Amino acid sequence: MSIARFWRETPRRYNLGGSKCSVCGTVYFPPRTVCPECTSHRQSIGKMTPFHLSGDGEVVSFTVVHEAAEGFEMQVPYVVALVRTVEGPILTGQIVDIEPKDVAIGLRVRATFRKLREEGKAGVIHYGYKFAPSEDEGRPSAPRGPAVPAPTAEPTKTPGTPA
Ligand SMILES: [Zn+2]
């Protein structure tokens, strides 16, 4: 399957759209039509509502991959982690913008949408999102992509400019 076709058929994975049970409040990703958490599945029928995950979470488990799947030779070593989102669902994704040796359990990350290089035969990376360290982790921002101004950023001081 081509990447283009993959995207067309799995848009929900791209926008982190899940579902939430309005009976017990459990969030699911990918979305479910009934809630297995409720004592009777019938309780949740028709009460599952669309819910978009924030993409924020923390690493609960990870693996450093040294042997690339076909199509990912340029990326080794890379880290694939299980990320528990703040909403509850645990997602699998690649951790980017950080050295593999710096990845640790508990690292706060945020989903970032990245174009996949190619579809690997082994299917190591299934989703269009990857995870990068959250900005509140205190790490320098990634060199790539547009800079996101921090809410507490101080005005830039320019030498020679009258105060
Ligand atoms: Zn429920």
Closest CA to 127 of 93, 95, 80, 83: 93
CA distance linking residue 61 with residue 104, whole number of Å: 8
Residue 29 CA to ligand 1 center (angstroms) comes to: 14
Residue 98's pLDDT is 93
Model pTM score: 0.65
Look at the domain 54-136 and name its fold: OB fold (Dihydrolipoamide Acetyltransferase, E2P) (2.40.50)
Spatial separation of the C-alpha atoms in residues 59 and 79, rounded to whole Å: 11
Centre of ligand 1 to C-alpha 48, Å, is 8
Report CA(36)–ligand 1 centroid distance (Å).
Answer: 7
Q: Distance from the CA of 24 to the center of ligand 1, in angstroms?
A: 4
DSSP 11: H
Instruction: Name the residue ranges covered by the structural domains of the chain.
Output: 54-136
Measured in Å, residue 54 CA sits from the centre of ligand 1 at 20
Output the CA 25–ligand 1 centroid distance in Å: 6
Residue 13 makes CB contacts below 8 A (sequence gap 6+) with 30, 126, 127, 128, 129
Identity of the amino acid at 125: I
Q: pLDDT digits over 88-115, tens only?
A: 999 999 899 999 999 999 999 999 877 6
Assign residue 85 a region: left if phi > 0, alpha if psi is -120 to 50, beta otherwise? beta
The tens digit of pLDDT for each residue in 128-140 reads: 788 999 976 544 4
Tell me which DSSP letter residue 146 carries: -
45: its two tokens: 């029928």
pLDDT value at residue 57? 96
Q: Which parts of the chain register pLDDT below 50?
A: 1, 7-13, 126-127, 138-147, 150, 153
On whether the CB atoms of residues 96 and 117 are closer than 8 A, the answer is no
What pLDDT does 3 receive?
A: 54
